[in-house]
Amino acid sequence: MYKDIPFERRTLEEIQEDIAYAAQLYKGTTHTIFIGDSNSLVIRAEVFGEILRTLYAAFPHLERVTSYARAATLAKKGLAELQQLRRAGLTRLHVGLESGDAETLGFIKKGATPEEMIAAGRKAKEAGFELSFYILLGIGGSKRWQEHADGTAAVLNKVDPHFIRVRTLTVRPGSQLFTIQDRGEFAVPPPDIILAEERRIIAGLEVTSQLLSDHISNYLSLHGQLPDAKAEFLQSLDRELDRLHADPARIDHYRQRGQLDHL
């Protein structure tokens, strides 16, 4: 997503000007703010803290500020530095786990091992952040979907993030994965295996997380608090798998739906 954008740290003054302009447009209605870009925690805590203070001053009704964070960056940050950001008003972090399978993480060049993902997630929670982990159905391919599912559940169990957000892989033309797939070295699992993979992950979970499978890429909408909603999730997945096996045309429907994410 960011491969064609050169990395740069914008000046504090430039960011404060953006905040002031945004406040003119949204001041009376804004309760939540998401800080964009892929890894905002890379900037110094003192600068980030000043940005946060500017945000809360500009938006008097602000209740939550969220940012993406990479596991590798969280691992490098000291706990005291993260706690400083939390006190300054950064409330929630979104981390792309994608998979808990070491081989799959290496294949996609994620830049972190399952152990590093666990350490980063635990540190974020210890610092007081609400933590969202994203998982990516299908990224293990047709060959490693079971290992991907089992490893992902294992990492989630060791972190117990506040939120588990589910996405489903769509391979975009022009991406490296598209080229690898075109060479026959990777295959996205068919919809019934994707659903079986999601079922296997949920069946293996022992967490108190809120699970949200609510993206356009996903085949089945699921939203609820674990562990209370676990049985309901599994029943919904079982029903949908039964429908797929009884009516193979539904598989084509799901494949077409997956293409919407390209638009």
What digits encode the pLDDT tens for the residues 138-158?
A: 999 999 999 999 999 999 999
The architecture (CATH level 2) of 69-78+91-262 comes to: 2-Layer Sandwich (3.30)
What residues contact residue 224 under an 8 Å CB cut-off, 6+ apart? 210, 211, 232, 233
**141 Rama sector, left if φ>0, alpha if ψ -120 to 50, beta otherwise:** left
Give residue 258's pLDDT: 57
**What residue type is 138 in one-letter code?**
G
Q: Give the domain ranges of the chain.
A: 15-66, 69-78+91-262
pTM confidence score: 0.93
Could you tell me the end-to-end alpha-carbon distance of the chain, in angstroms, rounded to an integer?
Answer: 15
CA distances from 237 to 51, 87, 203 (A): 43, 41, 11
- Is 263's pLDDT higher than 50? no
**Residue in 32, 120, 43 with CA at minimum distance from that of residue 74:** 120
Q: Predicted confidence band at 257 (pLDDT cuts at 50, 70, 90)?
A: low
Across the chain, the runs of DSSP E, i.e. the strands, are 32-35, 64-68, 92-98, 130-137, 163-168, 210-213, 222-225
